[in-house]
Chains A and B, each alone.
Chain A
Amino acid sequence: MKKLVLTMVLGLFAVSANAQSDAISKYFDKYVDDASFMHLNFSGKMFQMIAKLEFEDEAEQKMVQESLGKIKRVQVLGKDKDVDGRKMYAEALKAIKGNEFEELMSLREDDKDIRFMIKEKNNKIHELFMVMGGDDEFGLLSIVGDGIDLNALYKLSKSIGMDGFKELEFLDKMDGN
């Protein structure tokens, strides 16, 4: 009986940890429910399917199978009108400050600021989190996985023409390292 209770408690912890393990669900949940925000959510199932794709190039095939299958969730949240992007950008950085994330890169492009942060454990990237804020736009991107290869994700999104990950272009230049 004790064993059963312990298993159930551990199970509950695992579920709650999983449900709130990404930065958007944890710190920006109120925007997820706000219909004025654009919200995209891709489950791990989607990436498992993509990982089964057959590529003509063997190296590409290996890269996709070994990296994309490890992605558990991708979320994009954004607004491009009636928003004080700069204020929200500052608030977002404040919300996650000191919370397991370390800065990967920050850049200023045109009239917006972009900051990339990662959550690492045992030399594996578990989450990439991007915050973007401009005069009238604001955006968040979260990629959660178990040892995710961001370069592979960027290359694939580029090859299928998805614009959502274009901010990861710098990884291509860095060869994913």
Chain B
Amino acid sequence: MKVIIIGAGKVGYSLASVLSKEGHEVTVVDTNRRRLDMLAEHLDINVVEGNAAKVDTLISAGVESAGLFAATTEKDELNMVACFMAKQAGAANTVARVRNPGYSDFDDAARLEALGIDLIINPERVTAEEIYKLINHPEAHYVGYFGGGTVQVVEVRIPPCCNKQNVPLMDLQFPCQGLIIAIEREGKLIIPRGQSVLQAGDEVLLIANTKNMRALESYLGINSTKVSSVAIMGGGFSGYYLASMLEQRQKKLQIKLIEEDYARCEEMAQSLKETLIINNSGFSLQLFEDENIAAVDIFVALTEDDKDNLFFCVLAKSLGAKKTIAQIRGGDFINIIEKTGIDKAVSPRNLTADGILRFINRRHILSLTRFEGHSGQITELLVPEQAACAGKTLMDLDFPEQAIMCMIIRGSDHIIPQGKDVLCSGDQVILFALPEALNEAEELLTAVR
């Protein structure tokens, strides 16, 4: 597929990198020559210098045959105008990165269509949503929803108190339908078999019905911690989104939002009615004591500056905050940050790229790079009409070793697949795989007779 990416910033780079590695023809458009040169040096892509709001530039980038047009610059208006023109020129799918809540909050499909935008992606909002999921599920390091929200995948750590240690998995009697998809132990990824056992300290990936997940977790000895207070450092768009999502939560919690800029405090105070907005830069131990950050359940650092976020989280953690989440926007060290004691690092640009990819091929990329240095991926697939695999039992399918079928959604039924289960057309299959096995597994399930 031909892909045009507007903007060679962090999001553009991230997206170009993933798409070009998947084998797409990527062209990046930007006005900054040096940024473009840097990209061209690292990635196998084509670059075009020019203003993306000009038709000439878009045509020279090949917009008329583009399968995906993604405008990812910092400027909302430019992104929207570029998408509008690209759609006019014949781009199949357009994605605009829009940060301003005023533009991105409208979900009126007709209006979006009039603007020629197929998907609005808001990195700050996506970041806030990700953190919101983690706050709702504080014991997890990753939370994902599939099958329209009915199926949940979480990554959790097996605690020392778990009494199911060293019991073969086939002997475990789960209280509900559920599956252990993968185990990470000492930096190694294990796709579990019947004889595998769990050990304290294992990171496991669980899949279950959203409403049953708690039961499954407590069966494994994982207790959900109660969250009653959240402190957010930094009142940018993402901090604002997170606070307003938390305010709308059914179970009320105490929310503190610390922001340096007085005018921004005032702006946010217009709509954040319950949040305690504190006007301070945060660089003061006095503030941490006054606001009793030591006692908060979750501390989130969402300032513009990655270094500050790291600093605040380390400080909060050392004072006693139960869980700390840092936003890391740039750099390539995101994967080792969680080794510093910070519980979770969230990368807006990865989430944005993920969102765009999900839009074009329904593929979820987990940031589980620790699995032997590879990203595990979770994909939702639809078994097509007249599929070659339909009517066969799973045993008869020659499924690759590095892939595992996690769940079959058939109508309202959720089935944990067993060897004797039969696939049908119209089934929705949730698949976990390492990248090298992903294409093979996908092929098996979607090939038509």
Q: Do A and B bind each other?
A: no
Write the residues of chain A forming the contact surface with B, with a CB cutoff of 8 angstroms: none
Write the residues of chain B forming the contact surface with A, with a CB cutoff of 8 angstroms: none
